[in-house]
Amino acid sequence: MAGDQTVKATRRDLLSMIGMAAGSAAMYRAMTTLGLAAGSDYAGPIRLDGDPKGASVLVLGAGLAGMTAALELRNAGYEVKVLEFNERPGGRNWTLRGGDTYTELGGARQSCGFAPGLYLNPGPWRIPYHHRALLDYCRRLGVALEPFVQLNHNAYLHSASAFDGRPQRIRAIKADLQGHVSELLAKATQQGKLDEAVSAEDKEMLLHALRSWGALDDDYAYKASLLTSAYRGHAKDPGGGPGAAPTPSEPLGLSEVLRSRLWRYLQNFSAIEFQTTMFQPVGGMDMIGKAFGRALGEVIRYGAKVTRIQQDGGGVTVTYADAADTSSVAQEKADWCVCTIPLSILSQIPIDVGAPMKAAIDAVPYLSALKVGLQFRRRFWEEDEAIYGGISYTDLPIGQIAYPNAGMNGGGPGVLLGAYTFEGANGYEFASMAPAERVARVLDIGAAIHPQYRAEFDNGIAVAWHRVPFTLGCAGNWSEEARAAHYDDLCRIDGRIVLAGEHASYLPAWQEGAILSSLDAIGRLHERVVGG
């Protein structure tokens, strides 16, 4: 094409580019700034020492933040009442199973047709090992956990514009990128072309490390061999009997790997939030919400739609309607209020708080996440492709495909997470569709990665979070500017009202953030009560 020019990069330029491509440091820094990738600071169960002298607290919302507050305050001697919009505990801690029905904003009603034992977690679906508060409550409440497979080297990375649209195994992309980077760096090291000099001993150790890390041969080359195939997979796997010797596979070229941009997805396994070990509750994420609900019992009033929150110097008065019959209105009064209603809903409710807190409530938009569960007649991903758990990533609008971590190798039907879009235009586009249209679209797109979709599909269900009536979005989406301007005002106690939830934490969209926010809020509230 006229005007095109080929720019030849130096070895150092290429090393710099690979460092940016293969690493996740910049991504991690950005996520940390926005509060998306921070470790939990949980130091153990909260101590609420001192006599609350019969003080009463009204908790709004029976998600994990609200139920954490209710459980700990009740244990500390407070009189506690919880108002919850749904007819179940948990909030976004939610699982859909066969026989469940769900009606979204706009009136579209879906019935889940999954086989017994199969489910979809529309909200949270995994627990990092360092989310110590959530793990502690699971232990204390008797919630059984099992491993969640985040990284499966046999799952796929896929780009519609690379390798003729053919999905590539994670192990192959990872091994080839690692191998080529090691070869390039080894050659630069041998030729003394690094900026900073290294000692002869350090140089030798570095070369040994690169040979091991990158599966290089004695000449520090990354090429087809049984050694490289031991990482990226064989063209012909080893077997038994005559002719059973394995055949090495041919690595992808460095340029192919870089231009495919599939390396972008490798950071999903190196960021601290997704490092192993990860967990999930046995039987569905809502096992946690149910355990909290059982512990609180009649403290929770379900089906209560909050319509107004008032306060004065003597206490808080909350007006609510029966969610099934909004003409039926009642009130609850208490000395104090812990409000965990999502800001997307709270911003629409009249609330007596000062201008700083009200501005903070109005400042946080919510993410447009989508999850689609697809039941297939057989677990073809296991039977045909040897994929047991884990996640495949794609640049197609579905974002990713996640494979079930329970019931492996058991035969029968199975449910895939057929789409998970966390934000952006794809989420809004799917939310604008009717549920059946979402499922059909996800099936059509996913067939590019798993052609078995069309023959094996049984039924599906689609949850677009901007259409979920009790949140109108997935999670609070703080910008750096909004957090700097409003976060502290959101978290301060305003008169007799304090807010809590994942939106009032530096771990937004995580259950850990909801719990930590709640513990912090009730700790400060308790100090005010016993200190007053």
User: Is domain 96-154+277-282+367-467 in CATH 3.40.50.300, yes or no?
Assistant: no
Contacts of 45 (CB under 8 A, 6+ apart): 136, 140
Range(s) of the chain covered by CATH 3.50.50.60: 56-90+287-366+479-531
Residue partners of 439: CB distance under 8 A and separation at least 6: 372, 374, 460, 461, 462
The 3-state secondary structure of 138-163, one letter per residue: HHHHCCCEEEECCCCCCCEEECCCCH
d(CA 408, CA 385): 13
CA distance 87 to 304: 9
Instruction: Compute the average pLDDT of residues 6-14.
Output: 42
Phi then psi dihedrals of residue 306, to 5 deg: -70, 130
pLDDT at 41 (0 to 100): 86
Q: At what angle do helices 64-75 and 511-531 cross, to 10 degrees?
A: 30
Amino acid at 278: M
Burial 114-123 (b: 16+ CB within 10 A, else e): bbebbbbbbb
Cα 345 to Cα 468: distance, rounded to the nearest angstrom: 11
- Percentage of residues of the chain with pLDDT beyond 70: 92
Q: In one letter, which amino acid is 11?
A: R
Return the biggest CA–CA distance within the chain. Answer: 87
For the segment 101-154, what is each residue's pLDDT rounded down to a tens digit? 999 999 999 999 999 999 999 999 999 999 999 999 999 999 999 999 999 999
Give the pLDDT of residue 34: 43
Q: Which region holds residue 142: left if phi is over 0, alpha if psi is between -120 and 50, else beta?
A: left
The predicted model gives 60-78 an average pLDDT of 98
Q: What is the pLDDT of residues 378-436, one digit of tens each?
A: 999 999 999 999 999 999 999 999 999 999 999 999 999 999 998 778 888 999 999 99
Give the pLDDT confidence of 245-266 residue by residue, as tens digits: 999 999 999 999 999 999 999 9
List strand residue ranges (DSSP E) for 200-265, in order. Answer: none
63/292 Cα distance (integer angstroms): 9
What residues contact residue 481 under an 8 Å CB cut-off, 6+ apart?
A: none
Cα 297 to Cα 205: distance, rounded to the nearest angstrom: 62
Q: Which CATH class is domain 169-265?
A: mainly alpha
Angstrom distance (rounded) from CA 109 to CA 104: 7
Q: Tell me where in the chain the CATH 1.20.1440.240 domain(s) lie.
A: 169-265
Distances (CA, A) of 133 to 45, 175, 521: 8, 36, 15
* pLDDT bucket at 195, cuts 50 / 70 / 90: low
Average pLDDT, the chain: 91
Give the residue range(s) of CATH 3.90.660.10 domains in the chain: 96-154+277-282+367-467
Type of residue found at 254: L
* pLDDT (0 to 100) of residue 196: 59
Cis before 95 (ω within 30): no
Rounded CA gap, 422 and 510, in Å? 13
Which CATH class for the 56-90+287-366+479-531 domain?
alpha beta
The four Cα atoms 336, 478, 265, 273 give a dihedral, to 10 degrees, of -30
